Structure 1
């Protein structure tokens, strides 16, 4: 049985207006949203059909004090969060929030790789994440893209730390080399050195939709901004990159325009 170690198992949005964010993404992506049922802590759960995909919350005060802005974060599964954190820092990564429990859900820590990409280490309370619907299902995250301070070194870090493997390189000319990787659960994304105009490293998550053209119109209708696309990428899929009305960057992916 394949271990879920190194697999993206959850995604989380932190913003300035929880209800407005839920309204935007349910309209654009087609997710359904429901209250997470946490006492004294507003939290929305986003689902694609019966499968829970992501959560949404307002930026916590401590994170806001550190300069956090509206953004998406990914949770990567590990066997033991407490054991993984010192290994990550020894490899040059950073810990932003120490291991903490989410009652009845699991344990997590907020961290970053040595080249600036922030994410969560996570271990669910049940022992294993539930299997997702088939790849390509609308509403699932279909691609994970890291814009790093150093794309080549970042890929080496993730391969060494999580056991990921590089699958191929794609020469983007002046934009550098795009390095694709698999996590033991199929090809999951790519990494590149961030462009000079990109102020900081970040993970960009691409959500599957039926049609990027139709989704792009929904983004604009709800006050989002298109920053790239729609256009075709190698492999024949179509993408659009955008920011939501609160300034968080996200992307959409489909097999047809």
Structure 2
């Protein structure tokens, strides 16, 4: 797997009901699931998107809840973790090696938004195969299309992530009293945006938007299959539409796509 420092390379769903989650997302996004019962791989239209981690009673008793968390590529996990701690972030899971997968750690930014940092081990038979979990270059159904950080302190977040990963601000959209929606550029592509945390969000957090073929059909599916729709489809720059919601177990996610 060929990646670059600061790229999103994997998305992980932590859930209390793996079987129900597989049924929900396979119908919504066309995903297929395979692998070990303790960790399921998620495949979309053009390759792997991430994994599904069933939460054990021990995990939930320790505070884990259904959620989506992203992995960001780094050249040196231990050095990155030390920098994160020095800048006010926290370590939720110390750095560890996973055979044939890579070295990783789960951390938070200084405002508490969790994410993983990872240096992946490329597949032996496909060492140059890129990660397209985040479809940065072209639309891919079922793949992540946008990464959005809602932060208690967007200015501090820019300093933190810019210094850590080399992300830069590339324009913004004025949301009036809600503040500015500021776009993230990394190299030659847009990653997503940083915005102030909205009152309805309990904590600073990342949100991930997966691509669908029909946003209205997806909204109807969520409501008809036990999920929660937070808002009706909203037009975004470029003419597509987005929605936010949660799956039946409570993990929040976003979708983006056209209106048919």
Note whether the superposition's TM-score is higher than 0.5: yes
* Counterpart among 210, 219, 223 of residue 220 in structure 1: 223
Q: Who is 1:151 aligned against?
A: 154
1:103 aligns with 2:106: no
What is the DSSP-based 3-state SS (H/G/I as helix, E as strand, rest coil) of the residue aligned with 1:229? coil
> Shift of the alpha carbon at 1:255?
3.5
Q: Who is 1:31 aligned against?
A: 31
Q: Who is 2:73 aligned against?
A: 77
Runs of 4+ residues deviating >4 angstroms: none
> Shift of the alpha carbon at 1:141?
0.2
Report Cα offsets for 1:15-72 as digits up to 9, x if no partner. Answer: 10111111111111111111x23xxx62111111350101001124554233221000
Q: Who is 2:187 aligned against?
A: 184
Report Cα offsets for 1:66-91 as digits up to 9, x if no partner. Answer: 32210000000000111211011111
- 1:45-56 alignment to 2 at 5 Å? 45-56=41-52
1:135 aligns with 2:138: yes
> Shift of the alpha carbon at 1:135?
2.0
Report Cα offsets for 1:169-220 as digits up to 9, x if no partner. Answer: 1110121111110122501101111123321111100001111101111112
TM-score by length of 1: 0.92
RMSD: 1.8
CA contact (8 A) 1:43 1:55 kept: yes
TM-score by length of 2: 0.91
> Shift of the alpha carbon at 1:93?
1.1
CA contact (8 A) 1:22 1:44 kept: no
CA contact (8 A) 1:229 1:240 kept: yes
1:231 aligns with 2:242: no
Give me the whole-angstrom Cα distance separating, in 2, the residues matched to 1:152 and 1:171.
15
Q: Who is 1:252 aligned against?
A: 255
CA contact (8 A) 1:216 1:240 kept: yes
Number of residue pairs the alignment of both structures matches: 252
1:196 aligns with 2:192: no
CA contact (8 A) 1:112 1:119 kept: yes
CA contact (8 A) 2:3 2:131 kept: no
Q: Who is 1:65 aligned against?
A: 61
Consecutive unaligned residues in structure 2, runs of 5 or more: none
1:90 aligns with 2:86: yes
Give me the whole-angstrom Cα distance separating, in 2, the residues matched to 1:63 and 1:179.
35
